[in-house]
Amino acid sequence: MPGVSALILAPHPDDEVLGCGGAIMRHVAANDPIQVAIVTDGAFGSAQDRAHQTRTRQHESRCAAKVLGYDNLEFWELPDRGLAYGEPLIRRILAAIEAQRAELVYAPSWWEMHPDHFVLALATAEAIRRCSRPLRLMMYEIGVPLHPNRLLDITDLVERKEAAIACFASQLAQQRYDEHILALNAYRTYTLPSKVRAAEAYRILDQDELRRDPIRAIRPGIYYTQNGSREAATPPLVSIIVADSKDGHPTDTLDSIAIQTYSNIEILMPPGEPPIWDKRFPVRQLGTQDQPTPAQWLNQALDAANGDFIAILTDDSVLEPDHISVMVEALAASGCTGCGYSSVHEASGAPTDNLPQPSPGQLIERFELWGGAQVSLSRFLIARKLIEGQCRFDESLDHGYEWDFLVQLSRRTACLPVAHSSVRVRRQAQATAQSNSLDAPFVDPSLDAAFAKWQATWSPSEMRALVAWQGSRRIAAEQSAQRQAVVLEEQTAALRNAQSDAEALRQRLAEAHARLQQCTRELESAHQEVHALRQSTSWRLTAPLRLLMTRLKGAKP
């Protein structure tokens, strides 16, 4: 662990010592650049003046820092027991990571029971996931033992750690945290050699692991996802409608909602086992004794939704943690309160070690949609007032009711494209007209009934516009094909020239090689002649004469 720039995030004054005091000392000994940030004021439940308690705890952290050997210490002074998982906290952590140029970030684990510890763990994981530079998350344990993949021997440091813990007199008066933590450090030596008397446990996660599966931050062990605090201004309520998965219960979809950084969400879902985190966001299960068709159930959910905005997840979609926040912010910033859609990632049905790749055709043209392009409904965030009493899922359609719904929506408003890939869908669920040949119109027999419905409602001008758009697409495709053919022809000619040049060079090389071999043979022949001369009788008889001539000339023999 030593040898890198480190940022240590502590939810309260004393957590930096209790959780990773030994690691801090190792970094200090290695002259690593470190920054310690105490996130809350640590003044919850104090009978004294809150400001006085804050100053007391900050003084204790400064004293402990001197014992451990560092002075880069800052206090964010957020309210104790009031940390809220959301964009403000995530962005502040990101700013601290960039300011420190951190390669390693220490934070509590998401198995912690204390709500501030849990929130800081989730927010740190999300900040690391977003960071553009490679770095690792180093989770430490305090209130709940974690599942470690790294043990740090602190035998030679445990006395200094104990001295640093002793600085927090205000906390030790309430609970003997020193005994608990030192006992935990002793327990961690269970699998280590007998000479090791104390060790700190960590779980290290690479950035790529968090990007591949951000949902792992709430699996396993959900203890607290709600801390009782409210933001000063409640953001608009977003109703997320989650239809049944094609493969059964939409577990991944629901879990991706649990880690949304947006704070005001309600979830509407079919009857079934509620998610284990259902205390973070309210979950309503909608159902009747009768078995409604999918379109009927979606209309029931639209009627039951209370949100200012509605998101409808029907295709096993998985949302990135910032999806709802980004969409709401984009609609607010644009002044468009009607409808927006995000970019999308495509992924296979089974998890892989590879990150999902952005799909082609991210922009949605109205006429492309009308032409039969299948677009994931999960990409959209829709104002309820836009569809209330206006847009419904056609219950007479067995298939194509989602496409029909989007066509209704497209006739009411122009949707805002949001340049952010924050929805992951199954590859088979996302098909666009771009993925089909423009020479063969998009054909899906399941849309026949829906098309028949719209044929009777499209005006002649709309039909002409649709035909003209398809024609322009065909012309554009032909022009693109012609340009590509020209480029291909130029590249082919260049390749032929290169091949010709290469052949000429190979011929010149062969000629040079032949000349080299001839010179080698001539040189060898000359060497043989010289050798034969020196072995001859005349050479031996004239040796005294050559020696005399050499001396007369003043040269050495």
Identify whether 113 is part of a domain.
Answer: yes
Q: State whether 213 and 244 are in the same domain.
A: no
Closest alpha carbon to 280 in 223, 351, 349, 196: 223
Residue 307 has pLDDT above 70, yes or no: yes
Question: Are residues 292 and 320 located together in one domain of the fold?
Answer: yes
Among candidates 104, 96, 319, 323, which has minimal Cα distance to 207? 104
- Where is the domain boundary, 183, 218, 253? 218
Q: What is the CATH number of the domain that holds 159?
A: 3.40.50.10320
140: three-class secondary structure by DSSP = strand
Residue 279 placed within a domain = yes
- Residue 96, token pair as written in the block: 């601290």
- Residue where one domain finishes, among candidates 410, 430, 458: 458
Per-residue tokens: 552: 């007369």
**HSE-up of 311 (CA within 13 Å, CB side)?**
29
Angle (nearest 5°) at CA 119 between 277 and 227: 65
Residue 517 counted as domain residue = no
Are 48 and 107 in a shared domain? yes
Same domain, yes or no, for 283 and 161?
no
233's torsion region: left (phi>0), alpha (psi -120 to 50) or beta?
A: beta
Dihedral sign computed on CA atoms, order 498, 501, 507, 512: negative
Domain that holds residue 42: 6-218
Question: pLDDT value at position 262?
Answer: 92
User: Which amino acid is it at 540?
Assistant: R
**In 252-275, which positions are buried (b, 16+ CB within 10 angstroms) versus exposed (e)?**
bbbbbbbbbbbbbbbbbbbeeeeb
Residue 69 has pLDDT above 60, yes or no: yes
Tens digits of residue pLDDT in 389-418:
788 999 988 888 998 999 888 888 888 888
215 or 552, which is more confident: 552
- What digits encode the pLDDT tens for the residues 308-350? 999 999 877 889 999 999 999 999 888 776 899 998 877 655 4
CA 451 remoteness from chain centre: 39
**pLDDT tens-digit readout, 452-496:** 787 777 777 776 766 666 666 677 777 788 888 888 989 999 999
**Predicted confidence (pLDDT) at residue 178 exceeds the cutoff of 50:** yes
- pLDDT confidence of residue 512: 93
Q: What angle do CA 56, 59, 65 make, to 5 degrees?
A: 145
Question: Among the three residues 160, 188, 218, which one is the final residue of a domain in this structure?
Answer: 218
What average pLDDT does range 359-366 have in this prediction?
63
Q: How far apart are CA 4 and CA 34, in angstroms?
A: 9
The residue ranking higher by pLDDT, 511 or 290, is: 511
Amino acid at 364: I
The pLDDT assigned to 287 comes to: 76
**How far is C-alpha 74 from the chain's CA centre?**
28
Three-point CA angle 529, 530, 534, nearest 5°:
115
Do 106 and 187 share a structural domain? yes
Going by pLDDT thresholds of 50, 70 and 90, the confidence category of residue 451 is confident
pLDDT of residue 360: 45
Same domain, 258 and 170: no
Query: At 518, is the secondary structure helix, strand, or coil?
Result: helix
Whether 298 and 434 map to the same domain: the answer is yes
Residues 278 and 379 in one domain: yes
C-alpha angle 253/125/352, rounded to 5°?
50
d(CA 246, CA 248): 6
Average pLDDT score over residue span 97-110? 96
User: Which CATH number goes with the domain that contains 300?
Assistant: 3.90.550.10
DSSP 52-85: HHHHHHHHHHHHHHHHHT---EEEEEEPTT----
Q: Do 246 and 178 lie in a common domain?
A: no
Would the pLDDT of 48 be above 70?
A: no
pTM for this one? 0.64
Answer whether residue 536 is part of any domain: no
Please give the tally of structural domains in the chain.
Answer: 2
Same domain, 276 and 242: yes
Distance CA 514, CA 522 (A): 12
Cα–Cα distance for residue pair 123/78, rounded to 1 Å: 14
Distance CA 303, CA 384 (A): 10
The pLDDT tens digits for 214-249 are 766 665 443 333 444 444 567 899 999 998 766 655
**If you average pLDDT over residues 359-374, what whole number do you get?**
69
Secondary structure of 304-358 as H, E, C letters: HCCCCEEEEECCCCEECCCHHHHHHHHHHHHCCCCEEEEEEEEECCCCCCCCCEE
Shared domain for 177 and 252, answered yes or no, is no
469: Cβ–Cβ under 8 A, 6 or more apart, which residues? 365, 367, 368, 371
Q: What is the mean pLDDT of the chain?
A: 84
Both 192 and 246 in one domain: the answer is no
Q: Look up residue 359 and give its DSSP letter.
A: P
Any domain includes 262: yes
pLDDT of 352 strictly over 60: no
**Per-residue pLDDT for 138 more than 80?**
yes
What is the token pair recorded at 262? 């947006």
Helix 50-68 to helix 15-29 angle (10° resolution) is: 30
Through-space distance between the first and last CA atoms of the chain, rounded to whole angstroms: 71
DSSP reduced 3-state for 42: coil
Pairing of strands 136-140, 318-319: unpaired
The most confident of the ranges 161-165, 488-492, 546-550 is: 161-165
The structure tokens 């199954």 sit at: 426
Query: What pLDDT does 277 receive?
Result: 61
Instruction: Sort 552 into a burial class: Cβ within 10 Å, 0-12 / 13-18 / 19+.
Output: exposed
CA distances from 442 to 42, 371, 379, 438 (A): 62, 7, 21, 8
Kind of pairing, strands 73-78 and 34-40? parallel
482: number of Cβ within 10 Å: 10
